[in-house]
Amino acid sequence: MTLLDSRTPEGPVAEKWENHKFSMKLVNPNNKRRFEIIVVGTGLAGAAAAASLSELGYRVKVFTFHDSPRRAHSIAAQGGINAAKNYTNDGDSVHRLFYDTVKGGDYRSREANVHRLAEVSVNIIDQAAAQGVPFAREYGGLLDNRSFGGAQVSRTFYARGQTGQQLLLGAYQALAKQVAAGSVELHTRTELLDLVLKDGRACGIVTRDLTSGDIRSHSAHAVVLATGGYGNVYYLSTNAMASNVTAAWRAHRRGAFFANACYTQIHPTCIPASDEFQSKLTLMSESLRNDGRIWVPDAFDDTRPPDEIPDGDRDYYLERKYPAFGNLVPRDVASRNAKTVVDQGKGVGPLKNGVYLDFGAVIERDGEDVVRSKYGNLFDMYDRITGENPYKVPMRIYPATHYTMGGVWVDYNLMTTIPGCYAIGEANFSDHGANRLGASALMQGLADGYFVLPYTIGDDLAGRLSETPVSTDDPVFAEAETVAKSQIDRFMSISGTRSVDWFHRELGKLVWDYIGMERTREGLEKALTEIPALEQEFWADLRIPGSAATLNSGLEKAGRVADFFELAKLMARDALDREESCGGHFRAEHQTEEGEAKRDDENFAHVAAWEWNEPGAVQTRHQEELTFENVALSQRSYK
């Protein structure tokens, strides 16, 4: 075990970024065109970074496995984006956003990064508004804000329920502008299969063209991974079907440390699965908890329809246990309590896998029209998916995996432990600690892409003016191509009996049961025997019909699921070693008498960053100590 150095600048937290910007080396504007940068992923972080870097003059190659950069899953974010603008005059400030984010992350994030995030949050709003992002506005034409996710100030900017879509289109259009200008080379339907290193430094990537199956090498002075989170390891999640960990994981296998894999966020209000063939879960905005009341029947196996269950036979368990916050307790608390009642056998719906979110009271009080004006589109979506009318019947909801706080370890400059390789957005681990606040994911992706990486990448490149990118004829590329091709050949030659989806679904069940909302030593140890057993079966019994030289989505998925298997084992190990509960990581052994998460600041106020060893060998755990000089550590309480 070694202690990792985050290379955080000295000085008071509020001055670190300002000072660092001055102390970093600069690349002369005319010299920027001599550098090539690869950006993988075109979500908020990737599109923003690729556009911004090319505006500065760097030559950028950008890669996405989608048919267009606009499809990235950032597009599905609903709620909003936080920024410390204080337009509402309600006492917000950079320091307050910083404080709330560190506290919300349950004191497991790096203070300096979070402060920088809060500082640049205001620039993001300016940038997006100038791009024409249609944020909600007041009648005077100025921007509207709302309070979100239990925040005590209104600092969330939003674009109806489609904030992610509009922000992504803004970044995508900025990227399109640069593509048209000839300074970005765009590769669509192209997936990263490996990161290539020369003398310990990232020098390029190996990709597969998803339509022709061609394996190619691409070289550059630096490689930026903006490839999102790994929530799809659970199979059922709110992530898009193709969201995966592959780019981050292949970088991990080449030496990038992977941090805090056990920090995953479960969103409390999703539509429960309806059957075995369910392919994904749909999020219903958290705002519904402002007016809906959550309950389950008091009795086990109560089969009466909800409207025939009188109030006296209902358990409004959140209101009962948390009188002060009621249905508005934070995401992790709401999720865990839903699991508890469903595990007790009080779940509702045909599969008894949900709890009611009931709008009866508010409809009676304010009328159906008021409710429709607030939540009409969400109610319609629910109706479309379930065939039930939530104006008449309570919604059924259940938690689902939504976001992953863990990811590739990066230093203050967002560089991974591989020099020349960077990770930004959800792909890295740095800003959200053990739990992400609502409306902060969009903020972090765009902060990294627009305002952090474009500065910090120059610090490293400035000293490399004389270096040309490693030729793709170099043996390091040939070796990586061989590895990529041999994995594909191996998949195609297994000729077993089961589909890749079958294995993914089975893996997801294990990860959800053992490394889901509540973890125990016993469960995690089981995970560490059952996951490898299933993995072995995967490599022996997989069947991928068709050819590797055409579009073959089964083959694409096989590579991603192979990486999910390895990741799942790391998640279990990371969760096992973290003998405390914090944020999204709840170890049943570590809870307060009231059943709340109990941190162990003395022994675990650190980042766990794992180093890849040989295939089959356990990774080595390293630590980055977290120091809290500006925010006092305290126990969260929502009673």
Partner 1 sequence: MSSELDLTLQIWRQDGPHDEGHFESYTASGISEDMSFLEMLDTVNEDLIHQGDIPIEFDHDCREGICGTCSLMINGQAHGHEKATTTCQLHMRKFNDGDTIVVEPFRARAFPVVRDLVVDRSAFDRIIEAGGYISVNTGAASDANLTPVPKEASDTSFDAAACIGCGACVAACPNSAAQLFTSAKLAHLNLIPQGQPQRFERTESMVEAMESFFGSCTNHGECHEACPKEISLDFIAFMNRDYVKAKVKNRKLAGQT
10 Å CB burial of residue 636 (0-12, 13-18, 19+) is: middle
Q: 561 with 503: CB under 8 angstroms?
A: yes
Element (H, E) at 381: helix 368-386
Minimal distance, residue 120 CB to partner 1, in Å: 10
DSSP three-state, residue 130:
helix
Tell me how far CA of residue 400 lies from CA of 329, 330, 340, 349, in angstroms. Answer: 16, 15, 14, 16
Part in contact with partner 1 (CB under 8 A); list of ranges 61-69, 359-367, 394-402, 583-591: 61-69
| Six token digits for residue 100 | 């709330």
Closer residue to partner 1 (CB): 9 or 213 = 213
Binding positions for partner 1, 199-228, rule CB under 8 A: 211
Minimal distance, residue 78 CB to partner 1, in Å: 9
Binding positions for partner 1, 300-359, rule CB under 8 A: 350
Minimal distance, residue 279 CB to partner 1, in Å: 5
Residue of 14, 143, 462, 534 that binds partner 1 (CB under 8 A): 143
Tell me how far CA of residue 168 lies from CA of 72, 77, 123, 427, 445, in angstroms. Answer: 8, 10, 16, 17, 10
Closer residue to partner 1 (CB): 31 or 282 = 282
Binding positions for partner 1, 40-59, rule CB under 8 A: 48, 51-52, 55
Part in contact with partner 1 (CB under 8 A); list of ranges 179-187, 333-341, 357-365, 433-441: 179-187
Minimal distance, residue 246 CB to partner 1, in Å: 15
Residue type, 226: A
Residue of 3, 30, 91, 180 that binds partner 1 (CB under 8 A): 180
Minimal distance, residue 302 CB to partner 1, in Å: 17
Rg (CA), the chain: 24
CA dihedral (40, 42, 43, 44) positive or negative: positive
Minimal distance, residue 542 CB to partner 1, in Å: 10
Q: For the sheet containing 258-259, what is the strand order?
A: 407-408, 258-259, 606-611, 620-625
Binding flag, residue 589, partner 1 (CB under 8 A): no
Closer residue to partner 1 (CB): 555 or 571 = 555
Give the CA-trace dihedral at 425, 431, 433, 437, to 10 degrees: -80
Closer residue to partner 1 (CB): 186 or 515 = 186
Binding flag, residue 73, partner 1 (CB under 8 A): yes
Size of the site for partner 1 (CB under 8 A): 82
Binding positions for partner 1, 111-140, rule CB under 8 A: 123, 125-132, 134-140
Residue of 21, 146, 280, 509 that binds partner 1 (CB under 8 A): 280
User: Pattern 495-524, binding to partner 1, x per CB under 8 A?
Assistant: --x-x-xx----------------------
Closer residue to partner 1 (CB): 179 or 328 = 179
**59 Cβ partners below 8 Å, 6+ apart?**
33, 35, 36, 37, 183, 185
Residue of 387, 475, 615, 616 that binds partner 1 (CB under 8 A): 387
Minimal distance, residue 547 CB to partner 1, in Å: 9
Closer residue to partner 1 (CB): 70 or 585 = 70
CA dihedral (579, 580, 583, 587) positive or negative: positive
User: Pattern 1-40, binding to partner 1, x per CB under 8 A?
Assistant: ----------------------------------------
3-state helix/strand/coil string of 257-307: CEECCCCEEEEEEECCCCCCCCCCCCECCHHHHHCCEEEEECCCCCCCCHH
| Six token digits for residue 5 | 């150095």
| Six token digits for residue 547 | 């050819």
User: Pattern 529-568, binding to partner 1, x per CB under 8 A?
Assistant: --------------x-xx---xxxxx--------------
DSSP three-state, residue 92:
coil
Closer residue to partner 1 (CB): 257 or 398 = 398
Residue of 32, 34, 61, 70 that binds partner 1 (CB under 8 A): 70
Residue of 176, 288, 476, 517 that binds partner 1 (CB under 8 A): 176
331 catalytically annotated: yes
Closer residue to partner 1 (CB): 282 or 472 = 282
Q: 560 with 570: CB under 8 angstroms?
A: no
How would DSSP label each residue in 387-437? S--TTTS-EEEEEEEEEE--EE---TTSB-SSTTEEE-GGGB-SSSTTSPP
Binding positions for partner 1, 239-258, rule CB under 8 A: 240-242
Binding flag, residue 384, partner 1 (CB under 8 A): yes
Closer residue to partner 1 (CB): 259 or 507 = 507
Part in contact with partner 1 (CB under 8 A); list of ranges 382-390, 525-533, 564-572, 582-590: 382-390
| Six token digits for residue 562 | 């192979």
| Main-chain phi, psi angles of 122, to 5 degrees | -70, -35
CA dihedral (154, 160, 161, 164) positive or negative: negative
Return d(Cα 465, Cα 38) in angstroms, integer. 17
Catalytic residue among 331, 436, 519, 599: 331
10 Å CB burial of residue 403 (0-12, 13-18, 19+) is: buried
Q: 97 with 84: CB under 8 angstroms?
A: yes
Minimal distance, residue 24 CB to partner 1, in Å: 16
Binding positions for partner 1, 434-493, rule CB under 8 A: 450-451, 454
DSSP three-state, residue 221:
coil
Residue of 31, 88, 93, 173 that binds partner 1 (CB under 8 A): 173
Closer residue to partner 1 (CB): 348 or 572 = 348
Binding positions for partner 1, 76-105, rule CB under 8 A: 76, 85, 87
Q: 191 with 210: CB under 8 angstroms?
A: yes
| Six token digits for residue 635 | 């126990």
Binding positions for partner 1, 144-163, rule CB under 8 A: 159-160, 162
Closer residue to partner 1 (CB): 63 or 477 = 63
Minimal distance, residue 222 CB to partner 1, in Å: 18
Kindly list the catalytic residues: 331
